[in-house]
Structure 1
Amino acid sequence: MKYWVLGVLYIAFSSSLLLAQTKVGGQVYDNFNQPIPFANIVFVNSTVGTITDENGNFYMESDDTYTNLKVSFIGFQTKNIKLTKQVTYNMKIVLEEEAASLDEVVIYKGKTSKKNNPAIDILRKIWDNRRVNGVKKFKQYNYDKYEKLEFDLNTIDSALVNSRIFNGMEFIFDDVDTSRITGKTYLPIFLNEAISKVYGDNEINETKEILKGNKNAGFSDNQTLIAFVKDLYSDYDVYDNYLKFFDKSFTSPLSRTGVSVYNYVLTDSAYIGNKWCYNILYYPRRKNELTFKGDFWVNDTTWAIKEINLEVTKSANINWVKDLYIEQEFDVLNDSVFLITKDYFQSDFSFSKKEKSRGVYGKRTTLYDNYKFDIKKDRKFYQSQVDPYNQDIYNREDSFWKSARMENLNKDEQKVYKLLDTLRTVKAFKRLYNIGTILATGYVEFDGFDFGPLFSTVGYNDIEGVRLRAGGRTYFTSNDRWRIEGYGAYGFKDQKFKYGLSGKYLVDRKSRLIVSAGNRRDVEQLGASLTNTNNVEGRSLASSSIIATGDNDRLTSINLSAFSMQIEPRKNLNVGLTGSYRVLKPADRSLFSLDFLNPETNQLENQIKQTEIATQLVYTPGRKTTGYGVDRVIVNEGDYATLFLNYSVGIKGLIESDFDYQKVQFLYQQPWNIGGFGVLNSTLEVGKTFGDVPLGLLSVIPANQTYLSIYNTFPLLNFYEFVTDTYATLHLEHNFNGRIFSRIPLLRKLNLRELVGVRGAWGELSEENILLSAPSNELLVAPTDEIYWEYSVGVGNIFKIFRIDFHFRGNYFDNPDARKFGVTGSFGFFF
C-alpha cells in the first residue's frame, strides 16, 4: 500500500512541475542558528517575492524559470543564492550580520525608524494622494464579476491516506496537488462558481447584483455554506484603516495608524506593466496583534497601489485560522483612476497553528472586468426584485461557462466536479456528511423530515423536574415554500405532557409574504425578554436551565394560539401582523401567583385570558441571509443593526379576553466596530403599557438566574425582581479582542480576550397596576427612584472556546435576596 501511495504522490508531484517552473522553500537563520522572521525573499530580476514567517520559514513558486534567489533583512548582509534545480526544498539559509550593525539593538531586532525612512515618505504620499476607491469615483457604474470559491483538504500525507476514516474513499487522493502559496499538498473537495452583473449608483447610494449563473461541485444545495464563506471573506478596501475578516479588525498596512504597528522597508523599484513602481516590505512591530506581513508595489506618480500581498502573522489573536493570505491587483487608468481587477483570498482553517497540522484551505478568487460608468438607471431598478430563485441560473450549459469565465479552471478544479459527484455515491462519505450536519444544525436528517433539535432534548426546572423533549420539522431543501414544526415534552415532576405545533407558508417569494399559525401548551419563564413576541415555536433558555442560582419556580403555564402574516416590502425591512389568544396561569399556584381582582365582578381570578393584535416593524440593515424558502439562514449573526417597533392592542371581551390596553415597544441594537480597539455591542429598549393590566401582562426587567452569560439580561437580578409598565434599559458590552492582554508578556501567548460591560434599567409602575395584582401577594417594585445598574469584567477565548464573566451589582442591595456578585460563563466557537 505504501508503494501505491508513493506512486500517487510522485505522479502528482511530477505533474505539478509542468505548472510551476521554479519552487523554493526552507528556513532563514542568523549566525547564532536563530530563525529570522520577516526576511525578504525574491527571485532575482523579478517582482516575485515573499517574506519569512515568525519561525523564519518561507515558500515561493513561479510559472517562470529563475536561477538566482536574493535573501535580505535589515542589519544583515544580503545573500544571493544560485539555484541549481527547478525545485529546491528544505533550504537552510544563514545570513551574516553587517559589521556596522552589531551594536545597534533596534536594527538587529528588525525595527525600522519612523524618521528618515524612505518607505514611510512614500507611505505619506499614498495618504496624501489617496482617492475614493475605484468605482466610487463615478456617479454610476456597472461591471462583470466572476467569483470562484474552493475548499481543499491540506497537508496530505501517507498517514492521512491510510486513515480508517477514508476507507472506501481512497480514490480521492488521486488528485493531490501543491499550493503555490504554502507549498503544502492539498486535495480539492468543493468548488462553486458564480457569474454576476453588478450595478451601482453613488448618488443615491444603491447597489444591485444580479446573478447570471451558479455552479457547484457535487451538491445542488450549498447556499448556506457559500453565503457563510462570502461573509467571512466580505468585501474590503486596502486603503481603509482597518480590514475586517472573521469578525476581527486588522490594521491595514496602508492606514495612517500603520506606522505605529508596522515596520516598513523600501526594497526595490521596477516596471509593473508600463508603470514604474516602488516595492515596500512591511511586517509587524509586535506579536499577537491583528496585523499582516507582506509587500506592495506603488506607482511613482499617482501613488496608487498596483499590487499588494497581505499575510496574517501566526501570532495574531485569531482562532481556527492558521494562515490567511491575500493578493490584489489593480489596473491604473489615465494616471488618475485605479480599478481592482483581481482579488485572491486564501485561509487555512485548522484546530492548531502548528506547522504540520492538517486543515482546510478556503479560497476565493474574484475577477472584475468590463467596467462601464455614468449609465444612469432609475431608483426603481435597484428596489425592484425578480424571483430570486431561478432554476435556470443553477443549470447553465457548459457553453455558458466556457464563454463567461474570466479565468479557465485548472486541471484539478475541473476534476472536482467529477470527484464530488462520485463521492455522493460512497457510503463512508455520506456517513461523514451526516455527522457534520448533525453537529452544525442539531437535527438528524431523514427524507423530508428532520428530527430535533437534539440540544434541547433534556432540560430541568423546579416545576417540571427533569424534562424530555422530542420534535422535528419538515425539510426537503433550504428553499421549501412551506414548513411544519412540532414537538412534545414531558416533565417527570409535574407529570404533565406539553406540546407545540406550527405551520408556515411562503405565498410570494418576491415580497416574502408569509402566513403562519400554531398552538403551544407549555411551561414558560415569562419576563426573560422585554420585547418577546407571541412565538409558538419555542421557549426561553431560562425555562429549562440545568443549574440555576436560587429557585426557578415562578413559571407560567401558557396556552397560546396565534395567526400571523409578514411581508418584506424591501430588503431587510419586515412588516408583520399577529393575532393571538393566550391563557396564562401559574405552573404551581402554591409557589407562584398571578391572581388579580377582576374590577367588574370584584372576584378573584387566577388565570388571564387575553386576545391581542400586534403590528411589528423590524429593520435589519446589513443583514445577510441565504435560502429562498419560507425559512432563511442568517450568515452574519450579530454583525448588523436591528431596529424593532411593536404596537400591540389588547381587546377586552373578544374570545373572553379580560383587558383593554395598548403597548408600544422599541428596540435598537447596534454593534460598533472600533477598529483595533475591538467591538462594542449596544442595546437600547424602551416601552410603555397604556391601561391597567395584571402581573402576567406587565413588562418584567429580564433577569438571569442561570450560570450562562446571556446578552440583554441582568445576571444579578432574580425573576420578577423589577416589574414595570414603563421602562428603559441600556446594555453596553465591549470586547477588546486581546488588545490589552497582548501587551502583557506573561499573558501574550494565551491569546485571551478582555471584556467589560455595564447595564442599566429604569422603570415605573402605576399604583393602579400594583393594586390590581395585590391578591397575588407578589412584591411588585420598579426601579423608579434611581436607575438600577450592574457592571462586569470578563475573560474570553479561554482554551479558544470558553468565556467567564464576573458581575457586580451597583445598587438596590436592600431588595429581597439581592445578589451582589455573580459569575457566568459560556461556550462557543469564535474566530
Structure 2
Amino acid sequence: MKLHPQDGVFFYPIMNKQAYLLLFILFSFNFTFAQTKVGGVVNDNSGKTVPFANVVFANSSSGTTTNEDGEFYLQTDENFDTIVVSFIGYKTLKVPLKSAVNLNMKITLEEEAASLDEVVIYRGKTSKKNNPAIDILKKVWANRRSNGVRAFDQYSYKEYEKLEFDINTIDSSLIKSRVFNGMEFIFDYADTNKVTGKTYLPMFINESVSEVYGDNVINEKKEVLLGNKNSGFSQNRNLIDYVKDIYDDYDIYKNYIKFFDKSFVSPISTTGIDTYNYVLSDSAYIDNKWCYNIVYYPRRENELTFKGDFWVNDTTWAVKNINLETTKDVNINWIKQVYIEQDFKVLNDSIFLITKDFFMADFGLNKKKSSRGIYAKRTLLYDEYEFNNEKPNSFYQQPVYNPQSVAYNRSEEFWSENRLEELNKDEEGVYVMLDSLTKTRAFKRLYDVATVIQSGYVEFDGWDYGPVYSTFGFNEVEGIRTRFGGRTYFGQNDPWRIEAYGAYGFRDNKFKYGIAGKVLLNPKSRLIIGGGNRRDVEQLGTSLTNSTDVLGRSLASSALLNVGDNDKLSSINLSVFAIEMEPLKNFTVRVGANYRELKPASPQFSLDYYVDEERTIIDSEINQTEFSTILTWMPGRKVSGYGVERNVVNEEDFPTLFLNYSLGVKDIFNSDFDYKKLQFFYNQPLLVGGLGRSNVSVEAGKTFGAVPLGLLSVVPGNQTYFALYNTFPTLDFYEFVTDGYAAVHLDHNFNGRIFSRIPLLRELNLRELVGFRAVYGNISEESKRIDASGLPLIAPDSDPFYEYSFGIGNIFKVLRFDVHFRGNYFDNPDARSMAFTIDFGFHF
C-alpha cells in the first residue's frame, strides 16, 4: 500500500457550515509510533531537489513520491531496514536505515551520464510517443468498462464508512493554550498521521454500515443504512451531514474526479494524456498478480491535477492500487492538500473490484508547513459483493419517509459483527475521550459559539433567538431598523415549529412583526399545514418568481448603501395558509391561499390605479385574495431528518423545477381583481469538466387579466452594491414591468483556469467569472389603462433587455467583485450603463 507525503498541515473555515471546523481548530501525549518512519529530501549532484522521485521500502510495494520540493515522508507498521530511491535519469540508490525512525534525511541521487538528456525531459514534459507508460495506459482505457460493478447487470455489497476530523500539528504551545483549561486530558489521545508524520488529535468520529444495491440496466442505485455511530455529536445532524457532504463519490476511470466543488483531471482518464507526464517506474508481483508501476505528475502548474503513482495488472489491465495527491500550487481555498488512495481485488482472475478507498483533506488558513489545521479523513471499505440478482423497479423507489431511527441506536454487538475493519486501541479510546469532552463546560461554551456562527441562532431550552444577522438594517423609509426574533426548537426532527419577529424603524416610528407556524401531520407523505401573517416594509419586485415565505425579506429592503434613490418601498400586510405534501421523493405539491394589502411606504412612491372605466376614481391601496397550486421537483436532493423541517445536505448540487398556477379572485375579503397567473422556474448547476462550474436558470410567466402596478411582474433590478440572486444589477427597481416575461441567467466560474497561465497572476489564485442575463416581456394595454401610479410602464418588448458581466473571485479568499454592463435600452430614464457588485462568502 502506497503512502504519500504531505508538506505540512493547517486549518480552514469552509462553505456555510465552516463554523464546526472553526470550533475544531480552536482545539487547535500518548503517541502511537509505527514500526518504521522515514522522511527527508532528495537532491541531485548539483544540490537541486528532485521532484516526483520514487521512495519505497526495499522488497515491498509500500512507498511514495517526493513532492515538488523533493520532500517525502513514509511510514508503515512493518519493520524495514532499507529504502530504495529512484527516478528516470538517475542511478537507483539503496539507503540503509539506522533506526526505526529516520527523519530529516538528505539523499543525493547521482545522474547517469548516458541519460542526461532524459533528465531534462522528465523534469518537464515527457514524450507521448514511444512511451511504455502511455502504451499501458491505453490498454487500461480499452478495458475499463469490463472492471468493477459496471461489468454486471446488477450488484450489491456491504459498505463500511469511517469519517474523522482531527486537529493537526499538536505542539506545546497548543497544549498550554488557555482554550484547553479544564480539557487537558484530551492530549493523552494524540496520534501520528501515517501520511504526513504530523501529530494530530481526533475530534470527531462517525461510523456507518450500509447495504448498497444497484442495477446498471435501469441505471438505479439504492443505499440502505444499517447502522450509524458517532462520538459526542449524535444529536447534531447538521454536523454529521456536513462531514459526509465534504466527500463526493468519484470514479478514477472517469475523465474528472469531483470534490470540494472542483473537477480534477483523473490520471487514468483519456484526457490525462494532455495533462500529466507518465513514467513507467517498476514492475512486481502484488497479491500473486504481475503489475506495472506508473508514476505521474502534472505538465503545468496551478491546475486541478494530482501527482502520484498507480499499479496496473498485466492481463486485465485494471488498476490494482492508486494514490492521488494534489500539488501544493493547486487553486483550492482553505485546502492545503488532498490525498486519495484506492485498493482493488481480483474476482475470478479477471475483474477488479474496489475494496478500500481512503480520502484525506488538510484544511488550513494558509499553506505554511508549520501552521495548524484540520484533517478530514474518510475510509470506505467494501465487502460481500453479489451480482446479477435482479430486483423489481419498485425496489429502487426511494421512500419519502425514512427516519432510520433504529440505525442510530445500534448495540456494540452490532458494530463488532458489522465493522469491516476493527478499530485500533487509539480509535476506541477516542470515543471515550470525545464523549467525556462534550460534558465539560469549556467545550460546551466553544460549541455554543460555533453553533451561533453556523446557524445564526442562539440556542435556549426549547427555543432559539435569531437570526442574529438580521438584528440591524437600514432603508430610506424606516431609517435604522432593529429586529428581534426567534423560533421554537426542541430538536431537528420537531413535528411542529413556530417562528416570529418584531421590528422597529426609527425614522417612520412604526412597529412591524411577522409570525408563522407549520405542523407535520403525516410523516410518510410529509403532509404539512402552515400559515402566518406579516406586516412590514418591503422592497417588492426583487424576484420574478413568487415567494411563499411569510417571513422572507430581501436584502434590498435593508441595504445600507444604494445606487440613486431607493424609495420605492411598499407596506405589506400578508396572510398565508397552505397545505403541502410530498407524494414522491423530492417532488412536493403545495396548495395555498393568501391575502395581502399593499400600499406605498413613502410619499415619493405610488401604486395608484383607476377603479372605474372612465378613469376618474383612483385607489392607492390594493387588497387581493389569491389561491395557488405550486409543484416543485428537486431530483438528486439529499436531505436528513424527518421533522417538519429537514436539513439539505447537498445544497448546490441538484436542479430545481418550479411551476405555480395562481388565481386572483375578486370580492373575497374585499379583493379587488380577477386574474390568472402561470409561472415557471428552472435552475441547473453544472460542472463543465475542467472548465469550471456554471449555473443556468430560466424563468417564464404570464398574468391573464388587467392588474395594477402592485400585482404586475417587475423585472428585478438591483440598486444595492451587493449581489442579489437572479437580479439585473444595471436596472433600477421598477424600471421594467411586465405581465408576461421570459428570462435567462447564465453564470460561469472558470476556477482560475485562465489566470493560472499568467505568471504575475498565478500566485494570487484568483478566479475568472463571466455572466449573461436577458429578459423579454410585455404588458397588456388593459393593465396600462388602469395604471395611475405616474411611473413609466416600460416592458422589454421591442428587444430583449440584456446585460453581461465580468468578475474576479477569490480576492483574499472571501471576496468577489463583478462589473456589469447594460447591453441596450440606454434611452430609459436615468439608465445606468454600468454597475458594480460585491459578494462575500467562503468557497473552495
Verify same fold: TM over 0.5: yes
For residue 782 of structure 1, what is the aligned residue in structure 2?
Answer: 795
Tell me: CA distance 1:763–1:386, structure 2 relative to 1, closer, same or farther (3 Å): closer
| Structure 1 position 384, deviation (Å) | 5.5
C-alpha separation in 2, matches of 1:114 and 1:657: 75
C-alpha separation in 2, matches of 1:686 and 1:191: 47
Conservation of the 8 A alpha-carbon contact between 1:74 and 1:110: no
Q: 2:403 aligns with which of 389, 392, 396?
A: 389
Q: 2:729 aligns with which of 715, 718, 736?
A: 715
For residue 606 of structure 2, what is the aligned residue in structure 1?
Answer: 593
Q: How many residues align?
A: 815
Show the 5 A alignment for 1:318-329: 318-329=332-343
Residue 260 of structure 2 corresponds to residue 246 of structure 1: yes
Q: 2:520 aligns with which of 498, 501, 506?
A: 506
For residue 111 of structure 1, what is the aligned residue in structure 2?
Answer: 125
User: How big is each residue's C-alpha offset from its partner over 1:609-647, in whole Å with a ceiling of 9 and x where there is no partner?
Assistant: 111111111111122222222112222222211111111
C-alpha separation in 1, matches of 2:524 and 2:422: 34
Name the amino acid aligned to 1:43: F
Conservation of the 8 A alpha-carbon contact between 2:291 and 2:311: yes
User: How big is each residue's C-alpha offset from its partner over 1:779-828, in whole Å with a ceiling of 9 and x where there is no partner?
Assistant: 11000111111111100011111110011111111111111111111111
| Structure 1 position 659, deviation (Å) | 0.9
TM-score (norm 2): 0.95
Residue 834 of structure 2 corresponds to residue 821 of structure 1: yes
Identity in percent: 63
For residue 269 of structure 1, what is the aligned residue in structure 2?
Answer: 283
3-state DSSP of counterpart to 2:270? coil
C-alpha separation in 1, matches of 2:467 and 2:45: 60
Conservation of the 8 A alpha-carbon contact between 1:475 and 1:483: yes
Name the amino acid aligned to 2:59: N
3-state DSSP of counterpart to 1:322? strand
User: How big is each residue's C-alpha offset from its partner over 1:646-667, in whole Å with a ceiling of 9 and x where there is no partner?
Assistant: 1111111111111111111111
| Structure 1 position 508, deviation (Å) | 2.1
| Structure 1 position 40, deviation (Å) | 1.4
Q: 2:90 aligns with which of 76, 80, 90?
A: 76
Range with greater deviation from structure 2 (141-150 or 243-252): 141-150
User: How big is each residue's C-alpha offset from its partner over 1:736-793, in whole Å with a ceiling of 9 and x where there is no partner?
Assistant: 00000000111111111001111111101111111111x1111110001111111111
Name the amino acid aligned to 1:801: V
Residue 234 of structure 2 corresponds to residue 220 of structure 1: yes
| Structure 1 position 711, deviation (Å) | 3.1
Conservation of the 8 A alpha-carbon contact between 2:475 and 2:559: yes
C-alpha separation in 2, matches of 1:535 and 1:646: 14
3-state DSSP of counterpart to 1:778? coil
Residue 30 of structure 2 corresponds to residue 12 of structure 1: yes
Q: 1:735 aligns with which of 743, 749, 753?
A: 749
Show the 5 A alignment for 1:91-490: 91-102=105-116, 106-107=120-121, 109-131=123-145, 134-383=148-397, 385=399, 387-490=401-504
C-alpha separation in 1, matches of 2:695 and 2:47: 47
Q: 2:100 aligns with which of 86, 89, 95?
A: 86
3-state DSSP of counterpart to 1:224? helix
Name the amino acid aligned to 1:576: R
Range with greater deviation from structure 2 (744-753 or 567-576): 567-576
Name the amino acid aligned to 2:128: K
C-alpha separation in 2, matches of 1:549 and 1:515: 41
Name the amino acid aligned to 1:634: V
Residue 531 of structure 2 corresponds to residue 517 of structure 1: yes
| Structure 1 position 132, deviation (Å) | 5.8
| Structure 1 position 102, deviation (Å) | 4.1
3-state DSSP of counterpart to 1:46? coil
User: How big is each residue's C-alpha offset from its partner over 1:331-366, in whole Å with a ceiling of 9 and x where there is no partner?
Assistant: 222344322111111111111111111111111111
For residue 766 of structure 1, what is the aligned residue in structure 2?
Answer: 780
Conservation of the 8 A alpha-carbon contact between 2:692 and 2:751: yes
| Structure 1 position 168, deviation (Å) | 1.2
C-alpha separation in 2, matches of 1:413 and 1:794: 46
Range with greater deviation from structure 2 (120-129 or 133-142): 133-142
| Structure 1 position 681, deviation (Å) | 1.0
3-state DSSP of counterpart to 1:227? helix
Residue 812 of structure 2 corresponds to residue 806 of structure 1: no
Name the amino acid aligned to 1:740: I
| Structure 1 position 539, deviation (Å) | 0.9
Conservation of the 8 A alpha-carbon contact between 2:698 and 2:743: yes
Conservation of the 8 A alpha-carbon contact between 1:101 and 1:108: no
TM-score (norm 1): 0.96
Conservation of the 8 A alpha-carbon contact between 1:198 and 1:210: yes
C-alpha separation in 1, matches of 2:665 and 2:810: 49
Q: Runs of 5+ in structure 1 lacking a partner?
A: 1-10
Show the 5 A alignment for 1:559-574: 559-574=573-588
3-state DSSP of counterpart to 1:298? strand
Name the amino acid aligned to 2:266: S
Q: 1:648 aligns with which of 662, 666, 670?
A: 662
Q: Runs of 5+ in structure 2 lacking a partner?
A: 1-28
Conservation of the 8 A alpha-carbon contact between 1:142 and 1:199: yes
Name the amino acid aligned to 1:375: N
3-state DSSP of counterpart to 2:145? coil
For residue 8 of structure 2, what is the aligned residue in structure 1?
Answer: none
Tell me: CA distance 1:130–1:471, structure 2 relative to 1, closer, same or farther (3 Å): same
C-alpha separation in 2, matches of 1:663 and 1:599: 23
Conservation of the 8 A alpha-carbon contact between 1:645 and 1:666: yes
Conservation of the 8 A alpha-carbon contact between 1:188 and 1:412: no
C-alpha separation in 2, matches of 1:548 and 1:633: 34
Residue 714 of structure 2 corresponds to residue 700 of structure 1: yes
| Structure 1 position 386, deviation (Å) | 7.6
Conservation of the 8 A alpha-carbon contact between 1:805 and 1:823: yes
C-alpha separation in 1, matches of 2:115 and 2:391: 62
Range with greater deviation from structure 2 (51-60 or 114-123): 51-60
| Structure 1 position 109, deviation (Å) | 2.7
3-state DSSP of counterpart to 1:655? helix
Residue 809 of structure 2 corresponds to residue 796 of structure 1: yes
Tell me: CA distance 1:12–1:29, structure 2 relative to 1, closer, same or farther (3 Å): farther
Tell me: CA distance 1:149–1:384, structure 2 relative to 1, closer, same or farther (3 Å): closer
C-alpha separation in 2, matches of 1:337 and 1:615: 52
Tell me: CA distance 1:371–1:599, structure 2 relative to 1, closer, same or farther (3 Å): farther
Name the amino acid aligned to 2:730: L
Name the amino acid aligned to 2:816: R
Range with greater deviation from structure 2 (70-79 or 649-658): 70-79
Conservation of the 8 A alpha-carbon contact between 2:88 and 2:119: no
Name the Cα RMSD after superposition.
1.5
User: How big is each residue's C-alpha offset from its partner over 1:166-187, in whole Å with a ceiling of 9 and x where there is no partner?
Assistant: 1111110001110111111011
For residue 535 of structure 1, what is the aligned residue in structure 2?
Answer: 549
Tell me: CA distance 1:620–1:522, structure 2 relative to 1, closer, same or farther (3 Å): same
Conservation of the 8 A alpha-carbon contact between 1:473 and 1:484: yes
| Structure 1 position 599, deviation (Å) | 3.5
C-alpha separation in 1, matches of 2:396 and 2:100: 53
User: How big is each residue's C-alpha offset from its partner over 1:704-744, in whole Å with a ceiling of 9 and x where there is no partner?
Assistant: 11111223110000000000011011111111000000001
3-state DSSP of counterpart to 2:37? strand
Conservation of the 8 A alpha-carbon contact between 2:211 and 2:225: yes
C-alpha separation in 2, matches of 1:103 and 1:370: 51
3-state DSSP of counterpart to 1:121? helix
For residue 553 of structure 1, what is the aligned residue in structure 2?
Answer: 567
| Structure 1 position 104, deviation (Å) | 6.1
